[in-house]
Amino acid sequence: MEYIELFFKSIFIDNMVFATFLGMCSFLAVSKKVATAVGLGAAVIFVMLITVPLNWLLDHYLLQPGALVWLGQDYADYDLSFLSFIMFIATIATMVQLVEIVVEKFSPSLYNSLGIFLPLIAVNCAILGGSLFMQSREIPTLGLATVYGVSSGIGWFLAILAIAAIREKIRYSNVPPALRGLGITFIITGLMAIGFMSFGGMLTGGDDAKKETKTVKVEEPANKDKVKKQLANNTEIIK
């Protein structure tokens, strides 16, 4: 249950693009055609599937305060968490390079479709963002970290697919000249983000006792204004 909840939560409510604006650069740059958007989106899912659990392991066995306890009691009070940026980005960059080499060797056809996107991914904020959020939200187990990685990737994939489809259509519309291209894409993304906010109330019905106390609080304000306020609070907390 926990897994399913986290899965849908990270796809819809905490969508990488619409809730936290991560991966916007490649989102805007590679969303002119649906086919390329699908390629990049698939590559993002794939890389997140690998890097988030890997960084979870690094975080838990190397970086957190007291994580080095497996080396012996002397290391119990070491706190290397200030190194996490450099560790995470190094993991991501090397994994991307490694994935590129492995895919090239074993599946040339997949390499041809994904290949050009892989270098782009090393600097995609969604990937590093996934690892950093994994750390700051204190995701407890390796399994959950994996689910979090995959579902955030899927959320990003959905977002870029949707915007690419809209941009292909919008070519035939009469957009004010100065707004064409980047400007209208920004505004559409904003509107889509507002749309995605409506998913905010989706997961308020949990099944365990702890959740239920929370649910009562959330369900009480049934009218829209209060739900919106709740949402605003949520986004504040996320930030």
Question: What is the number of other CB atoms lying within 10 angstroms of the CB of residue 96?
Answer: 22
Selected from 71, 83, 102, 202, the binder of other proteins by CB under 8 A is: 83
Smallest gap from Cβ 26 to other proteins, in A, equals 8
Which residue stretch of 2-10, 46-54, 85-93, 149-157 sits at the interface with other proteins (rule: CB under 8 A)?
85-93
Is 90 among the residues that bind other proteins (CB under 8 A)? yes
- Number of residues binding to other proteins, judged by CB under 8 A: 60
204 exposure class (CB count in 10 Å sphere: 0-12, 13-18, 19+): middle
Among 70, 176, 208, 223, binds other proteins (CB under 8 A): 176
Alpha helices in the chain (DSSP H): 2-8, 24-29, 34-58, 84-106, 108-114, 118-122, 125-136, 142-170, 182-197, 209-219, 224-238
Looking at the Cβ atoms of 108 and 190, the one nearer to other proteins is 190
At residue 222, the 3 state secondary structure works out as coil
Distance CA(24)–CA(125), nearest Å, equals 8
Options 11, 13, 44, 128; binder of other proteins; rule CB under 8 A = 128
Task: Choose among 27, 11, 232: nearest CA to 130.
Answer: 11
List of residues contacting other proteins (CB under 8 A): 18-25, 28-29, 82-86, 88-90, 93-94, 97, 119, 122-125, 127-129, 132-133, 136, 170-171, 175-187, 189-191, 193-194, 197, 228-229, 231-232, 235-236, 239
